[in-house]
């Protein structure tokens, strides 16, 4: 199994369930049919946050008049 950059993986095993170990990016050994990888995207995503700010009339040139 290959874990791409920006992703993390945990393994689901048919007998014991979900493992506690988190696999970082790279190549890892996987037993077909017995182990199933669960891949998560952990990259930071940009967000736009709208806010109302009171910046009108607060420039240094206007405050000195």
Model pTM?
Answer: 0.62
Q: In this predicted structure, what is the pLDDT of residue 6?
A: 92
Question: Tens place of pLDDT for every residue, the chain, 65 residues?
Answer: 899 999 999 999 999 999 999 999 999 999 999 999 999 999 988 888 887 776 665 556 555 55
Structure confidence at residue 53 (pLDDT)? 73
The dihedrals phi and psi of 30, each to the nearest 5 degrees, come to -140, 135
In the prediction, which pLDDT does 22 show? Answer: 94
- Residue 22 CA to its chain's centroid (Å): 13
DSSP 23: B
* pLDDT for residue 61: 59
């Amino acid at each position: 199994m290959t874990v791409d950059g920006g992703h993390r993986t945990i393994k689901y095993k048919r007998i014991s369930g979900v493992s506690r170990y988190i696999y970082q990016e790279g190549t890892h050994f996987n037993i077909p049919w017995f182990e199933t990888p669960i891949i998560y995207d952990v990259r930071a995503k940009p967000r736009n946050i709208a806010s109302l700010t009171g910046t009108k009339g607060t420039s240094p040139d206007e405050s000195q008049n």
